[in-house]
Chains A and B, each alone.
Chain A
Amino acid sequence: MARKVPEIPSASLADIAFMLLIFFLVTTTMDVDSGLRRKLPPFVPEQQDDTPPIKKRNIFEVLVNKDNMLLVEGDICRLEDLRGKAKEFLNPNLEGENLPEKKTEYVEFFGDTKVLTGSAVISLRNDLDTKYGVYLAVQNELIAAINDLRNDLAKKKFGKLFESLESEQQKAIKKIYPQKISEAEPKKVGGK
């Protein structure tokens, strides 16, 4: 008759597991990195400025000075009002003296619709002393304006949010509301 093998004591298993647990608690972080995705323009060394001047009505000009104040289209503006103004500028269905030029173009799913011409652009310029936090807040508002418009259109047309659309549908909406934010080289804006 075989002798019974003595049971391995498992009392210390908990301690081992606790040790592992504490190791992982200390060495890992939980935060998922998130942020605003942007694309930088490619570097062009010292080019001559031979591009034809863009008409003023096609530019949505945002300036941020060293005191973190905003100048939008020549008027002092609060950060909270920026989103509304940007939406107004980007909406192709609004006509106005200062609003950008529109053209009619065929877009899938939508047929012939009015879209902004390719030269319509949001131009963002900041001072060297502008705080990064303010700069990012401005960027955030501009992106929010575009996202709002895209979501509105997506809801109206497809009954879904922009993010949950299929890529073809997203493409169509992106054609109507492109994300065009141009960042000028920072320079001293306004007085010393």
Chain B
Amino acid sequence: MSKFRKNGGKELPPISTASLPDIVFMILFFFMVSTTMREQELKVKVNVPQATELTKLEKKSLVCYLYIGPPQRQFVAKMGNAERIQLNDKFATKADIPAFIQAERDARDEAERPFMVYSLKVDENTPMLIVGEVKQELRKMAALSINYSAKKAVER
């Protein structure tokens, strides 16, 4: 009749999983709040340059993206290696830019249109020729507020 007798046969109670959903929901809410929906599938490789004097783009709904860079590997056979412009989900040329901007404007509220920002996501190895052409098109469409997308540079 010792006190330290083993409780022979008594099984370890299973760990309660009742709180598991709560934990997962917590993680879920964290991700829902801190992330944004993926905009579109990238068909061009864009490795944006680094910079230090960055400003964040606040109103996501007012930003419209233009991508410039060499096509992704699976499109090289069709499109070649040269840098291309991507608007929405398609490859485009500079001639498509006015229509694209018009469509983007029409999609926004009238009052919000003056505050639209055009974010240029350009690969760092792109020659300025193509960037210059895009900028000219933007100027012609009076889309003057632009943002050169860049990563935060690591401090040296």
Contact = CB atoms under 8 A, between A and B. Distances in A.
Interface of A: 10-11, 13-14, 16-18, 20-21, 24-25, 27-30, 32-43, 126-133, 135-137, 139-140, 143-144, 147, 185-186
Interface string B121-145: 0111111110110011011101111
A140 B149 CA distance: 12
Chain B interface, DSSP helix/strand/loop, else mixed: mixed
Chain A interface, DSSP helix/strand/loop, else mixed: mixed
The number of chain B residues touching the other chain, given as a range, is: 35 or more
B132 to A, nearest CB: 5
Contacts of B39: 29
* Residue of B28, B38, B53, B150 ringed by the most chain A CB atoms within 10 A: B53
Nearest to B25: A17
Contact of B127 (A24, A30, A40, A131): A131
Interface string B7-32: 00000000001101100110110011
Contacts of B27: 21
Contacts, number: 155
Interface stretch (B54-62, B73-81, B84-92, B107-115): B54-62
A35 B149 contact: yes
B127 A28 contact: no
Contact of A24 (B28, B128, B135, B145): B28
Contacts of A135: 128, 131
12 contacts: A14-B24, A24-B35, A30-B35, A34-B56, A34-B149, A36-B147, A42-B139, A132-B124, A132-B128, A133-B125, A135-B131, A137-B51
Contacts of B35: 24, 28-30
A17 B139 contact: no
A42 B146 CA distance: 12
A157 to B, nearest CB: 21
